[in-house]
Amino acid sequence: MHEGTDDFFARYARALLARDADAIADMYAVPALIAFPGRSIAVGDREQTRESFADSWSAYEGVTEADPRVQVVAATRHSVWADVTWSYGGREQERYVYQLLDGPDGWQIGVLTPMEL
């Protein structure tokens, strides 16, 4: 495991459960890239991330626990690629590969790629 990766995703889970769009926005680098199948979204400012999460809370309605299973697949001193499967309510629900970048205040998400479970 790469130092700090588990802590990063534990903080991310707490922010998600608290529906804290500001805290989550702080965890994304600017610029960042969200690489969805068939389209990519360039994230040009923090507000774009905050609004996206604030608008998506209904997708997490009823979610009261979030458990990230983190597998670091590659790492350097300045970047970590983590394959993370998220379980909500004891069931695996989402899977992403995150590229974390070493930002001015620690790790931030630079690239997010959805994966199949």
**Looking at residue 20, what is its pLDDT?**
97
pLDDT digits (tens, 9 = 90+) for 38-76: 999 999 999 999 999 999 999 989 999 999 999 999 999
CATH architecture of 5-57+65-114: Roll (3.10)
- Closest by Cα among 70, 116, 81, 71 to 95: 116
Q: Show me where the domains of the chain are located.
A: 5-57+65-114
Asked if 83 contacts 69 with a C-beta cutoff of 8 angstroms, the reply is no
Detail the DSSP E strand segments found in the chain.
28-36, 39-43, 66-75, 79-88, 91-103, 106-114
Q: Read off the tokens for 39.
A: 């389209």
Does the pTM surpass 0.75? The reply is yes
pLDDT digits (tens, 9 = 90+) for 61-115: 999 999 999 999 999 999 999 999 999 989 999 999 999 999 888 999 999 999 9
